[in-house]
Chains A and B, each alone.
Chain A
Amino acid sequence: MSSKPDSALIIVGHGSTVNPDSSAPTFDHAEVILQSGAFGEVHCAFWKEEPSLRQVLHMVDRDDVYIVPNFISEGYFTRTVIPRELELEGPVTQKNGKHLKYCEPVGNHERMGELLLKRASEVAPGVDPADCSLLIVGHGTNLNDNSAFAAKREVDRIRELGIYGEVFNTYMEEAPLINEWDSYTTRPNVVVVPFFIADGLHSYQDIPVLLGIEQETGTAASQREIFRQNPYVLRGRTLYYASAIGTEPAFAELILAQTALFDAQTSTHTASV
């Protein structure tokens, strides 16, 4: 892995004013990257938490700055909000003596499928994937982002590998619905991985209720307990439920991979001009 002691990295997350776990993976990945020495400085910035996108550039000492959105896909935030708030003019922006390099969102990286497979095998240790239905659960078609499209792309890739008995995209609000999981899966084991950047109400409460492993009255605050009780035996199957894919520690590698990809694309572009 290349080291950039003279460059800074800003990881941009959405953040939340109600969910303290929203920004946690972004901070965790930043910590890992800082410890690794891959960048001279690492900072986080958020849309709904602090430091804000309007504050973060003041925090950066170095002039060479990579910006990676910690988002599951391209969308309204990566295309509109982040560029507007940071006053970016494109992939490269010169601003107050700083060279700002706007990388692709982490979820766009081609290694996302690899991470989903890692998480799926870790949550169901010793289970033969051939006897397993893998469900990647997303919110649904939301015009703010292309996460449904991105989830479908990952499922297509994983399906092609032929490792799991079957692989499905499933959604909270549209077909195939996550609450009907037992009607379209056929294998004895079912592994469910939420396609979200952070844990929160959806992964702690909404999806568990839809899956049938939690009662309606479950409080969001019971939180991580939900992941500790695997496997769940219900509806005649054995179900394994993972936490949001964005909490996967290997996400830090994908963030770095996006900065490397930015360099590779920029140098190709420069070479071809």
Chain B
Amino acid sequence: MKRNLTTAIEKWVAGGLKFVGQLSILSLPEGGYELRHAEDADKPDLDTFHSPSKARSISFFDNAGEYRPLKTAPNLQHGWRLVLKDAAELRAALDHFYPAMTAVWLSHLENALTPVALRDTLNRQTGMYAATKRLQDEEGQELVGRACAASSCTKRILWNFGPNQPLTTLEADKLPPAPHNESKPPSQMPLLCHEACNILVAACREVVKKRERAAGPPPDPSAAHPTPHPTPHAAS
């Protein structure tokens, strides 16, 4: 075992890490940690829980009870505090609130995180998502500007649109964080997106399909080459 993420998180908190996404982390004087929504800092009447797995049910729904498929969307629910007995429980809870984000940050600090350009992610797709290979530059950039905006997702994007083709539509707070200063760990851990999520890939498909539907059906190839019955995952 070359690395230990639990120990790394413990050190970050001891070194001054206070916020992960919308969460605030507090080291308790009696040992252990407390997590709550950072906006609930001064709220007295929060529901208190003690199990890291409670983080799962909290993270799955927003204040209105709606499902949150993207855990880095800025709609973490309020009104609770989670008391955790040690760093292992803290790690487990953070993995429910912000899946993989502490691990990805550690990989980033260790120079072991390789961003993948959106074009490379799309070109790898098969089945129903193979259509995303036909995404055009302009509509793709426009989509990223909309789908990945800070109002939808709080990750900072490390990937380019294509190899040597930067993103052009995002605000500075969505772009990579300033280089990390070893001697002073940040009080807010950046959430990093090193490769487009499936929600964005699915949105790319929608953009392509919408454009192609608007342009009308392609010439019918079946007249010359009968094709097998299409399937939901057939390349199209």
Known interface pairs A27-B56, A76-B127; A6-B1 also in contact (CB < 8 Å): yes
Known interface pairs A55-B103, A76-B127, A84-B126; A49-B69 also in contact (CB < 8 Å): yes
The 8 Å CB contact of B103, one of A17, A19, A59, is A59
How distant is the Cα of A56 from the Cα of B103 in the complex, in angstroms? 9
Please give, as numbers and ranges, the residues of chain B lying within 8 Å of A48 by CB-CB distance: 69, 198-199, 202
How distant is the Cα of A43 from the Cα of B103 in the complex, in angstroms? 12
Range, interface on chain B: 35 or more
Interface residues in B215-235 (C-beta closer than 8 Å to A): 231-234
Whether B95 and A51, one on each chain, are in contact in the complex, defined by CB atoms closer than 8 angstroms, is: yes
Q: Does B175 contact A (CB under 8 A)?
A: no
Whether B100 and A58, one on each chain, are in contact in the complex, defined by CB atoms closer than 8 angstroms, is: yes
Whether B1 and A62, one on each chain, are in contact in the complex, defined by CB atoms closer than 8 angstroms, is: yes
Contact with B along A67-89 (1 / 0, CB 8 A): 00000000010001100100000
Identify the closest chain B residue to A59 (Cβ): B103
How distant is the Cα of A42 from the Cα of B109 in the complex, in angstroms? 23
Closest beta carbon of chain B to A128's beta carbon, Å: 39
Known interface pairs A47-B198, A56-B100; A61-B67 also in contact (CB < 8 Å): no
Q: Does A230 contact B (CB under 8 A)?
A: no
The 8 Å CB contact of A58, one of B1, B2, B107, B199, is B107
Contact with A along B33-67 (1 / 0, CB 8 A): 00000000000000000000100100011000001
Whether B100 and A143, one on each chain, are in contact in the complex, defined by CB atoms closer than 8 angstroms, is: no
The 8 Å CB contact of A61, one of B1, B60, B195, is B1
Interface residues in B65-116 (C-beta closer than 8 Å to A): 67, 69-72, 95, 99-100, 103-104, 106-107, 112-113, 116
Please give, as numbers and ranges, the residues of chain B lying within 8 Å of A56 by CB-CB distance: 100
Q: Does B28 contact A (CB under 8 A)?
A: no
Whether A58 and B106, one on each chain, are in contact in the complex, defined by CB atoms closer than 8 angstroms, is: yes
Please give, as numbers and ranges, the residues of chain A lying within 8 Å of B3 by CB-CB distance: 61
Whether B231 and A52, one on each chain, are in contact in the complex, defined by CB atoms closer than 8 angstroms, is: no
Q: Does B14 contact A (CB under 8 A)?
A: no
How distant is the Cα of A43 from the Cα of B94 in the complex, in angstroms? 13
Whether B1 and A16, one on each chain, are in contact in the complex, defined by CB atoms closer than 8 angstroms, is: no
Q: Does A267 contact B (CB under 8 A)?
A: no
Range, interface on chain A: 20 to 34
Please give, as numbers and ranges, the residues of chain B lying within 8 Å of A43 by CB-CB distance: 95
Whether B99 and A80, one on each chain, are in contact in the complex, defined by CB atoms closer than 8 angstroms, is: no
The 8 Å CB contact of A84, one of B56, B124, B197, is B124
Q: Does A54 contact B (CB under 8 A)?
A: yes
Q: Does B181 contact A (CB under 8 A)?
A: no
Whether A17 and B69, one on each chain, are in contact in the complex, defined by CB atoms closer than 8 angstroms, is: yes
The 8 Å CB contact of B100, one of A6, A19, A51, is A51
Closest beta carbon of chain B to A198's beta carbon, Å: 14
Q: Does B147 contact A (CB under 8 A)?
A: no
Please give, as numbers and ranges, the residues of chain B lying within 8 Å of A20 by CB-CB distance: 60-61, 67
Please give, as numbers and ranges, the residues of chain A lying within 8 Å of B233 by CB-CB distance: 76, 143-144
How distant is the Cα of A201 from the Cα of B47 in the complex, in angstroms? 31
Please give, as numbers and ranges, the residues of chain A lying within 8 Å of B67 by CB-CB distance: 18-20
Closest beta carbon of chain A to B130's beta carbon, Å: 11
Most B C-beta atoms less than 10 A away, residue of A48, A59, A142: A59
The 8 Å CB contact of A50, one of B6, B99, B194, B234, is B99
How distant is the Cα of A80 from the Cα of B129 in the complex, in angstroms? 13
Q: Does B4 contact A (CB under 8 A)?
A: yes
How distant is the Cα of A6 from the Cα of B2 in the complex, in angstroms? 12
How distant is the Cα of A216 from the Cα of B202 in the complex, in angstroms? 29
Q: Would you mind naming 18 contact pairs between A and B with Cβ atoms under 8 Å apart?
A: A17-B69, A17-B70, A17-B202, A20-B67, A47-B198, A48-B202, A49-B198, A50-B72, A52-B100, A54-B195, A55-B100, A55-B194, A56-B100, A58-B100, A59-B100, A61-B2, A63-B2, A97-B2
Contacts beyond the supplied A76-B127, A76-B233: 16 A-B pairs with Cβ under 8 Å: A17-B69, A17-B202, A50-B71, A51-B99, A51-B100, A54-B194, A54-B195, A59-B95, A59-B103, A61-B1, A61-B3, A61-B5, A62-B1, A97-B2, A142-B232, A143-B233
